[in-house]
Amino acid sequence: MSELKNIALQILNNGKGILAADESTGTMTKRLEGVNVPSNSENRLLFRETLFSSSSMSDCIGGVILYDETIKQVSSKKITIPDLISKSGAHPGIKVDTGAKILAGSPNEKITEGLDGLRERLKEYYKLGAKFTKWRGVYNISKDYPSKLSVQSNAHALARYSALVQENNMVPIVEPEVLMDGDHSAKDCYQKTSEVIKRCFDELILHKVDLKGIILKPNMILAGNKSNEKISNEEVAKLTLECLKNSVPTEVPGIAFLSGGQSEIEATENLNLINKNNNTNFIMSYSYGRALQQSALKFWSKNIRDLEGTQKIFNHRAKMNTLAAQGKWSKEIEN
């Protein structure tokens, strides 16, 4: 199993992070139509390939999470997308859940589906070149949520998924995302996130998942997006570190945060402060989607043939997050 630990470390070592390019066709269509670019498989591939061919791939990106459509596509260089990513020294990964559906018994909450037929799909993805996988559980916060049912059933699904992934020699990314939607306080977020993560690890251990061969992808501790509470970036870093230190077993090699609705700069600044104050043995890096791609997508949409200009913007964002993953970012460098 040390092979899995090595892959996890290669993905996150030296400030490298993960590019989450696993938007479903539906989500990618929303993103492209939002910037007035028609969403077809050619345009979706063109944007992604532009990022995957950028120079920051070898310096900053240790892994790329793909969607089913993308992992099967062939680049303009006539090599497969997984080969294009591997050539830069990064590992190709794949999102394997089939989305969050209404949780029976608690209609305001979600359960992630996709366990049926997963073993067979994993074999196929491994053959296509995937070295790691992703599964996301989502949890609402309010006075009543997340319910015990939601916490337990999503933890169970994440653990079953992880066991199957390791059986197929890939590293599972375990992503329990406590959503920032709502008017909850940072303290509420801290308590609920702690509860969710602890339950996930109880289940992972029960399912005999080797914790040395996983990557945890949690949310940072933030006040809800409709909350009147304003907490400083320093406070975000302090609470996030405290939560993870008390909830995550020490065997886990690395943690790659999701950006979860933060702006590009917020996501970078918070990651930087977490690393400046990181008194744990965990590598703390990033697994960002929008917070890595948003500016590049806006630029690209003005002229989808200006690949060099798009890459320049993406390279800057990747570089800033890699500095933040080492606690070396500053506003001066950003600007």
Alpha helices in 74-226 (DSSP H): 81-87, 118-128, 148-167, 186-206
**Distance of CA 132 to CAs 82, 135, 196, Å?**
12, 11, 23
CA distance 271 to 66: 23
Check if the beta carbon of residue 286 is closer than 8 Å to that of residue 271: yes
Instruction: Tell me if 141 sits within 8 A of 161, measured CB to CB.
Output: no
Q: Annotated catalytic, 217?
A: yes
How many other CB atoms are there within 10 angstroms of residue 119's CB atom?
12
Going by C-alpha positions, the residue among 192, 206, 92 that lies closest to residue 157 is: 206
Strand 17-20 vs strand 283-288: parallel, antiparallel, or unpaired? parallel
Catalytic-role residue among 16, 134, 217, 319: 217
The interaxial angle of helices 25-34 and 41-52, nearest 10 deg, is 90
Omega prior to 146 cis, within 30 of 0: yes
Three-class DSSP category at 136: strand
Residues classed as catalytic:
217
